């Protein structure tokens, strides 16, 4: 596993119904910056995506935004994109996702919609196929991801997750504990992660 230098955050391009989600995004961005890590994200300046970037930028953090050309002026404004210290414009979604994967040492899903699910599920499928062992975290703000976690457990119980030991996303309820959880997982390089979730539950 690479040392943790950057964290990719997948999350909604919408704000969601509750302020709690926006606040969580802001807090996560800030804590990534305060840990001296780079935020990698989809470049959007609206919704939770915008809150994460804003939190990181205000705390003096480094931020890479990766956005397909056709989404500029939909998920972002050109002005706001100027605040990012690295902006990569891709031709399509596939290229965007690939660069986000390559540039990131860990992945977090905060509350979001179908795009967020698509992105974090792809990262889990690549873990399942043994392409990477980068930490994957569900930021389970207000239990947002419980239905998704129940579905994964159900798939495991019914025998459809063929390499269960490779698909063990961390579940972190408190947004303030997410970066510490990733660093703890990164420090447990190549050692069994059994018990790590119980350590994280106490963070």
Position 71 contacts ligand AMP (CB under 6 A): yes
Please identify, using beta-carbon distances, which residue of 13 and 104 lies nearer to ligand AMP. Answer: 13
Nearest residue to ligand AMP on Cβ basis? 115
Position 93 contacts ligand AMP (CB under 6 A): yes
Q: Work out which of 35, 46, 113, 186 binds ligand AMP, going by CB under 6 A.
A: 113
Position 91 contacts ligand AMP (CB under 6 A): no
Per-residue burial over 185-195, b if 16 or more Cβ lie within 10 Å, else e, is: bbebeeeeeee
Closest distance between ligand AMP and the C-beta of residue 48, in Å? 8
Q: What is the DSSP letter of 76?
A: B
Between CA 160 and CA 14 the distance in angstroms is 32
Strand order in the sheet with 38-41: 86-90, 63-68, 38-41, 6-10, 107-109, 136-139, 170-172
Position 42 contacts ligand AMP (CB under 6 A): yes
Position 27 contacts ligand AMP (CB under 6 A): no
Q: Which residue shows structure tokens 């931020």?
A: 63
Please identify, using beta-carbon distances, which residue of 25 and 44 lies nearer to ligand AMP. Answer: 44
Q: Which stretch binds ligand AMP (CB under 6 A): 115-123, 138-146, 172-180, 181-189?
A: 115-123
Please identify, using beta-carbon distances, which residue of 12 and 169 lies nearer to ligand AMP. Answer: 12
What is the CA angle 82-88-91, rounded to 5? 125
Position 65 contacts ligand AMP (CB under 6 A): no
- Please give the helix or strand (H or E) that residue 128 lies within, else none: helix 114-128
Position 115 contacts ligand AMP (CB under 6 A): yes
Say if CB 46 and CB 79 are below 8 A apart.
Answer: no
Contacts of 58 by beta carbon, 8 Å cutoff, 6+ apart: 30
Report the 3 state secondary structure along 169-188: CEEECCHHHHHHHHHHHHHC
Size of the site for ligand AMP (CB under 6 A): 16
Position 97 contacts ligand AMP (CB under 6 A): yes
Please identify, using beta-carbon distances, which residue of 14 and 200 lies nearer to ligand AMP. Answer: 14
Q: Return residues touching ligand AMP (CB under 6 A).
A: 12-14, 42, 44, 71, 75, 93, 97, 112-116, 118-119
């Amino acid at each position: 596993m690479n040392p943790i230098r950057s964290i990719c955050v997948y999350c909604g391009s919408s704000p969601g119904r509750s302020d709690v989600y926006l606040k969580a995004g802001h807090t996560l961005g800030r804590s990534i910056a305060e840990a001296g890590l780079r935020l990698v994200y989809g470049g959007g300046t609206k919704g939770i995506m915008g809150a994460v970037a804003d939190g990181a930028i205000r705390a003096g953090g480094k931020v890479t935004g990766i956005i397909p050309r056709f989404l500029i002026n939909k998920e972002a404004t050109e002005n706001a994109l100027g605040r990012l210290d690295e902006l990569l414009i891709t031709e399509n979604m596939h290229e965007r996702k690939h660069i986000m994967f390559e540039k990131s040492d860990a992945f977090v899903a905060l509350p979001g919609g179908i795009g967020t699910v698509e992105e974090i599920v792809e990262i889990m499928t690549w873990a399942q196929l043994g392409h990477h062992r980068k930490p994957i975290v569900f930021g389970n703000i207000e239990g947002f991801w419980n239905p998704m976690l129940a579905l994964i457990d159900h798939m495991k119980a019914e025998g459809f997750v063929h390499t269960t030991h490779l698909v063990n996303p961390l579940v972190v309820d408190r947004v303030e504990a997410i970066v510490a959880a990733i660093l703890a997982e990164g420090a447990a390089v190549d050692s069994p992660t059994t018990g790590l979730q119980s350590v994280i539950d106490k963070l």
